[in-house]
Amino acid sequence: MPTPAVAELIDCLSQLAALYSETKRLDRSATLLERVVQLREGIVGRDRSDATRALIDFAEQLIQRRNYQEAELLFSEAATVQADMRGKNHPEVANLYLRIAETAAG
């Protein structure tokens, strides 16, 4: 569990990344989202929904930058973690597989 200061830092970085994304500053947004993924995985491990959410957010950002291959890899990673946590028939896992297919189609 992160300290309150670290949790606040992660939240601020996520919000700043969203702001950069909204203002089409996608390179800066992607850099921040990558850091959020690293922080969340370092704190809670890869097998937690917080870390998985960060992977999904980063993948969505990569799609906006038209980096479909890397986004597909992150969606796949998130789907694997979610399937392990929730079961392969869970709706969230199905949604991730759908995003993988959509991303592969470009």
> What pLDDT, in 10s, does the model give residues 3-61?
888 888 988 998 998 899 889 898 898 899 888 888 877 776 655 777 788 889 889 98
Query: Residues near 8 by Cβ (< 8 Å), separated by ≥ 6?
Result: none
Domain ranges for the chain:
4-105
From the candidate CATH numbers 3.40.50.970, 2.40.50.1070, 1.25.40.10, 3.40.50.720, the one assigned to the domain spanning 4-105: 1.25.40.10
**0.85 exceeded by the pTM?**
no
> What is the distance between the alpha carbons of residues 79 and 84, in angstroms, rounded to a whole number?
8
The answer to whether residues 81 and 59 touch, using CB atoms and an 8 Å cutoff, is no
> What is the distance between the alpha carbons of residues 29 and 67, in angstroms, rounded to a whole number?
14
